[in-house]
């Protein structure tokens, strides 16, 4: 009689300054038991919404701090009518999204005092993200003190970039003293979708090169050679690279001193570049692709221009990465725009035919947001739509570090037999 393999529940946490996203995965089955979102932490009235197989749970109440938010999550997870698990003791490990790991971490790690210190050191490079990530770690450890906690870094996947890709042509002392270099972000997404593409294409990473396009309100593109990131569009911060929803992406840096001389402060310029530029700034309408598509169809020239600038910048990076990869097997579209923006995918792939990228436009339209190929059968380079799932990737990493192999956290603890 066959014995059923054990399963473990992994809690995935993405903690922001005023929000807390979470999801529970049953591993190794990779089955989501449900997810939730706590919003408006610290405001007069906060909210929790949770969806699982038992139904939806909603709460509106004051949530003064993250400790209160985690207490609310614990209650929601185990709520009798619509909870995701029977008891908090069913959580076997916690995976945390951490935005910046600096140069120290090229992979996910079990969290200890040294890891926490390293995340604190990198907080200067990600001041809006690392501090709340640390808060989430502290609160999760307080809620589950004996459970393995794992940090999954957005920057880790890009630590395989060579110096030719990550160094800026600034005085080298700036890199030595301040670690100013290209770090890249969205690494967890790029790792997931490039790995998923191998399954869809029935290929091995060892002999496959892909270009992954994570396109959403935040957008980045990565050249992946034999399963390793060798270049990516985001840089020292997530501001560099592609045009995004409200971020400008690449600009001439002299523009900043030009505007400063006309009375704009550095704080104002930083806000403009991050929150008032991109699709929103170009169109003057919205940072939402759907709004711009409707306006473009109605003849709004600024909406058309914004969409074309967006597509042009992505296409420009694809061409550069094809040149540096030499051989490219696939281009992957993911993220809110990459997955759902059927017309945007067409805009991007138009004019790439001379590089061996041939989209089947009819197939692209019929595919819509569903996973699969959208390239012509004769295209030397495949084009795929692959929905991203960063939460699943975090759960996979947490499970593997907690339970797999000789280095497994649980095995080291000696409290289970693997």
CA distance 250 to 317: 11
Nearest Cα residue to 363 out of 377, 344, 381: 377
Q: Are 364 and 347 in contact (CB under 8 A)?
A: no
CA distance 72 to 415: 29
Beta strands in 53-112 (DSSP E): 55-61, 91-98, 109-110
Catalytic residue flag (residue 154) = yes
Burial of 398 (0-12, 13-18, 19+ CB in 10 A): buried
The two beta strands, 148-153 and 109-110, are antiparallel
Residue 361's contacts (CB-CB under 8 Å, 6 or more residues apart) are: 346
Nearest Cα residue to 303 out of 273, 270, 251, 347: 347
Output 344-349 pairs: Cβ under 8 A, ≥24 positions apart. 344/215, 344/289, 344/307, 344/310, 344/311, 345/374, 345/383, 345/385, 347/307, 347/308, 347/310, 347/311, 348/213, 348/311, 348/314, 348/315, 348/318, 349/315, 349/383
Catalytic site residue from 112, 154, 329, 415: 154
Q: How are strands ordered across the β-sheet holding 148-153?
A: 55-61, 46-52, 31-39, 20-27, 8-15, 91-98, 148-153, 109-110
Residue 121's contacts (CB-CB under 8 Å, 6 or more residues apart) are: 102
Positions annotated as catalytic residues are 154
């Amino acid at each position: 009689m066959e014995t059923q393999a054990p399963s473990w529940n992994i809690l995935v946490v993405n903690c922001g300054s005023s929000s807390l996203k979470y999801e529970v995965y049953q591993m190794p089955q990779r089955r989501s038991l449900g997810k939730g979102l706590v919003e408006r932490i610290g405001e007069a009235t906060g909210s929790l919404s949770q969806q699982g197989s038992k139904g939806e749970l909603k709460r509106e109440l004051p949530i003064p701090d993250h400790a209160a938010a985690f207490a609310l999550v614990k209650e929601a997870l185990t709520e009798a009518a619509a909870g995701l698990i029977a008891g908090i003791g069913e959580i076997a490990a916690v995976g945390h999204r951490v935005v910046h790991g600096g140069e120290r971490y090229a992979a996910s790690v079990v969290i200890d005092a040294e890891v926490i210190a390293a995340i604190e050191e990198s907080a200067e490079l990600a001041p809006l993200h690392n501090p709340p990530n640390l808060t989430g770690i502290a609160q999760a450890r307080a809620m589950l003190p004996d459970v393995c906690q794992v940090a999954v870094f957005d920057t880790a996947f890009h630590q395989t970039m060579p110096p030719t890709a990550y160094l800026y042509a600034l005085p080298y002392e700036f890199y030595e003293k301040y670690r100013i270099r290209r770090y890249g972000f969205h690494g967890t997404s790029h790792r997931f979708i490039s790995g998923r593409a191998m399954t869809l294409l029935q290929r091995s990473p060892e002999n496959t090169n892909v270009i992954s396009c994570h396109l959403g309100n935040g957008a980045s593109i990565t050249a992946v050679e034999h399963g390793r990131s060798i270049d990516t569009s985001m840089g020292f911060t997530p501001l560099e690279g592609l045009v995004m929803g409200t971020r400008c992406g690449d600009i001439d840096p002299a523009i900043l001193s030009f505007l400063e001389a006309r009375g704009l402060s550095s704080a104002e310029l930083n806000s403009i570049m991050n929150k008032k530029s991109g699709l929103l700034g170009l169109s003057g309408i919205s940072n939402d692709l759907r709004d711009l598509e409707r306006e473009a169809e109605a003849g709004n020239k600024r909406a058309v221009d914004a969409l074309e600038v967006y597509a042009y910048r992505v296409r420009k990076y694809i061409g550069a990465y094809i040149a540096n990869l030499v051989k490219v097997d696939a281009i992957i579209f993911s993220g809110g725009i990459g997955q759902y923006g059927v017309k945007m995918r067409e805009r991007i792939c138009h004019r790439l035919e001379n590089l061996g990228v041939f989209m089947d436009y009819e197939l692209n339209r019929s595919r819509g947001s569903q996973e699969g190929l959208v390239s012509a059968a004769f295209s030397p380079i495949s084009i795929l739509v692959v929905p991203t799932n960063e939460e699943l990737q975090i759960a996979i990493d947490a499970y593997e570090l907690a339970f797999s192999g000789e280095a497994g956290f649980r095995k080291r603890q000696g409290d289970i037999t693997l």
